Structure 1
Amino acid sequence: MTQVLVLVGTLAVATAFGLFWRARQGQVRAARRSALPDPLLDLVDPASPVTLLQISTTFCAPCRQTRVLLSDLAAKTSGLRHVDYDVTEHPEVATSLGVLRTPTTLAVDAQGVEIMRVGGVPKRDTLLAALRPHLP
């Protein structure tokens, strides 16, 4: 009987954690206001009001999905630019930004100041709604 209770308890905890993790995927969060490292600051276009800076790795499947989504969104939205930065060879860049998983998307203004960030694959409509006040 004890083994059954342990099994049921383990399943309940795992399910609760999975639901919590899934709910946080793609949510727009407040900026951490960390300064961008030089390699990333060089990617920011001062002529673009908002740059979506995608932090990804080589073998990340959700990164590919995010790349397609963000590229399409930037192509269809005035004042929005998308740049993908692979941290596979540069883990110190991810560490300096507090990025613990990929993909992570940072929305930065023309000066390179972080506006917001999204962990996981962004939800298109939610991201666009959050970016609206920063776009022309």
Structure 2
Amino acid sequence: MTTGTWVLIGTLALASVAGLAWRRSQGRVRAGKMSSLPAELRKLVDPGSRVTLLQISTTFCAPCRHTRLLLSDLADKTEGLRHIDFDVTDHPEVATSLGVLTTPTTLAVDSQGVELMRVGGVPKRETLLDALRPHLAPE
């Protein structure tokens, strides 16, 4: 085999590993990063809900539409849960302040605006609901 063939095989292998790692991270629930939201997002949090799902989207994001439908349906069927979609297309500074690098990213915040967890990509419904249950339970 020639050197070019080996380079091609190596490149394809590396791209496959990177693609699998990226795909595995999509929809995974992770611990929250921020103690408090920026002011423009804090005013969107419902103080009457135990948890607000704050979806960070952009207008050109196809997975954002699927996420919006999933989270809206979940919020409609779950007591104490609210869904808000915030488009950062014209507000990149908000995405930067939150450490959001891809859309959709969903932040689960409590009634005070403190981040409980976040999900990059389209959430897996049951995984997200399982992670939210302790925060939705009556005190």
State the secondary structure of the residue aligned to 2:64.
helix
Could you list the per-position Cα deviations for residues 89-119 of structure 1 after superposition, in whole angstroms to 9, with x for gaps in the alignment?
1110110010011100000000000000000
Cα distance, 1:80 vs structure 2: 0.4
User: Do residues 7 (structure 1) and 5 (structure 2) align?
Assistant: no
Q: Counterparts of 1:1-136 in structure 2 under 5 Å?
A: 1-136=2-137
Relative to structure 2, which stretch is displaced further, 77-86 or 30-39?
A: 30-39
Which consecutive residues of structure 2, in runs of 5 or more, have no partner in the other structure?
Answer: none
State the secondary structure of the residue aligned to 2:23.
helix
Which whole-Å CA distance do the structure 2 matches of 1:104 and 1:77 have between them? Answer: 20
Cα distance, 1:34 vs structure 2: 4.1
Aligned-partner residue type, residue 55 of structure 1:
I
Which whole-Å CA distance do the structure 2 matches of 1:4 and 1:94 have between them? Answer: 41
* Conserved 8 A contact 2:34-2:98: no
Which whole-Å CA distance do the structure 1 matches of 2:99 and 2:121 have between them? Answer: 14
* Conserved 8 A contact 2:53-2:107: yes
Q: When the two structures are superposed, what TM-score results if normalisation uses the length of structure 1?
A: 0.98
* Conserved 8 A contact 2:52-2:110: yes
Q: Give runs of ≥4 in structure 1 deviating > 2 Å.
A: none
Aligned-partner residue type, residue 89 of structure 1:
D
* Conserved 8 A contact 1:26-1:119: yes
Q: When the two structures are superposed, what TM-score results if normalisation uses the length of structure 2?
A: 0.96
Aligned-partner residue type, residue 72 of structure 2:
S
Which whole-Å CA distance do the structure 1 matches of 2:35 and 2:6 have between them? Answer: 46
Which whole-Å CA distance do the structure 2 matches of 1:83 and 1:23 have between them? Answer: 26
Cα root mean square deviation, aligned:
0.7
Cα distance, 1:35 vs structure 2: 2.1
